[in-house]
């Protein structure tokens, strides 16, 4: 597993995949910069009149529900169908699902209307997509008794996608394999957009491989490791603004050697 994931970093830098992202206005700049930092190329078109043409040029599509409205929903539906027709992978970030009825219903409609290769969310978002009743607090996760590993596995089986559950320990499952990544820093929760950037990074890796399980691991672990590395560089008077910049610096320096040295990952036995 480690070797196949590590190999993806050089391939991304070489191929520079174009990742079309329909994302939220709060974190669009961060997602674009994270995409560039790891070696991809971002495009952030969300106009329904041109989104299909743009998707056809891309190697991956990221759909982020952060700042949802009827226009962006129309664009998402068109983009998802186009990506499916063109065999372009779709990565869904169900931001805030479970917080409002509208958001939850529209997320379910999107899932019904397209095939999604990877879903990345926090505990409550993923659990709600499965039909659970945890209430999402804005974009923050509510409590759940099962582990992230068990949730990701159950969700992968139910939703027929690779599922990434973000948290203190990130979990990735493709319904037959489940991996835990134990990197990160508590400071990641103090900076807006780290979850969205994680999804953007996953999208970049999906743009150069059809092994979506490995792509998901590469993307989420890159963010967790980068958060950890960035925290190590902070001095006494450095705050979250500096930390945010250092995360991008760490992503831009990520390669196979650093990843293999820093990653704390294990595969769970069958649950």
The predicted pLDDT at position 268 comes to 85
Residue 134 contacts residue 94 (beta carbons within 8 Å): no
3-state secondary structure of 43: strand
Quick one: pLDDT at residue 269? Answer: 72
Coarse DSSP helix, strand, coil percentages of the chain, rounded to the nearest 5 percent: 50, 15, 35
To the question of domain 2-165+189-262 being in CATH 3.40.50.12780, the answer is no
The reported pLDDT for the residue numbered 270 is 60
Predicted confidence at residue 3, as pLDDT, reads 57
- Tens digit of pLDDT at every position of the chain (271 positions): 555 899 999 999 999 999 999 999 999 999 999 999 999 999 999 999 999 999 999 999 999 999 899 999 999 999 999 999 999 999 999 999 988 999 999 999 999 999 999 999 999 999 999 987 655 554 444 556 789 999 999 999 999 999 999 999 999 999 999 999 999 999 999 999 999 999 999 999 999 999 999 999 999 999 999 999 999 999 999 999 999 999 999 999 999 999 999 999 999 876 6
pTM of structure: 0.94
Residue 94: phi and psi, rounded to 5, are -85, 60
Among 111, 64, 57, which Cα is nearest to 88's? 57
Distances (CA, A) of 213 to 2, 83, 101, 257: 12, 19, 31, 20
DSSP 189: G
Q: pLDDT value at position 146? A: 86
pLDDT of residue 35: 98
Label the pairing between strands 162-165 and 170-173. Answer: antiparallel
Q: CA 175 from chain center: how many Å?
A: 18
The predicted structure's pLDDT at residue 17:
98
């Amino acid at each position: 597993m480690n070797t196949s994931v590590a190999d993806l970093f050089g391939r991304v830098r070489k191929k520079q995949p174009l990742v079309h992202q329909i994302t939220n206005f709060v974190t669009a700049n961060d997602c674009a910069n994270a995409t560039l930092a790891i070696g991809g190329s971002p495009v952030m078109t969300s106009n329904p009149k041109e989104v299909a043409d743009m998707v056809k040029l891309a190697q991956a599509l990221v759909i982020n529900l952060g700042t949802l409205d009827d226009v962006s929903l129309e664009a998402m539906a068109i983009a998802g169908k186009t990506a499916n027709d063109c065999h372009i992978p779709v990565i869904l970030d169900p931001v805030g699902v479970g917080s409002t009825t509208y958001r939850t219903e529209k997320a379910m409609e999107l899932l019904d209307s397209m095939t999604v290769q990877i879903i990345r969310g926090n505990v409550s978002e993923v659990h709600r997509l499965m039909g659970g009743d945890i209430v999402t607090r804005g974009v923050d996760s509510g409590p759940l008794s099962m582990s992230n590993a068990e949730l990701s596995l159950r969700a992968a089986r139910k939703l027929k996608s690779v599922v990434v559950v973000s948290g203190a320990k990130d979990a990735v499952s493709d319904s037959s394999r489940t991996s835990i990544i134990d990197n990160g820093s508590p400071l990641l929760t103090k900076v807006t957009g780290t979850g969205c950037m994680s999804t953007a990074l996953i999208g970049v890796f999906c743009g150069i491989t059809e092994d979506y399980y490995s792509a998901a691991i590469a993307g989420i672990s890159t963010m967790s490791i980068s958060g950890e590395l960035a925290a190590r560089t902070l001095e006494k008077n450095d705050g979250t603004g500096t930390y945010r910049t250092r995360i991008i610096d760490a992503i831009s320096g990520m390669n196979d050697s650093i990843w293999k040295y820093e990653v704390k990952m294990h595969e769970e036995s069958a649950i």
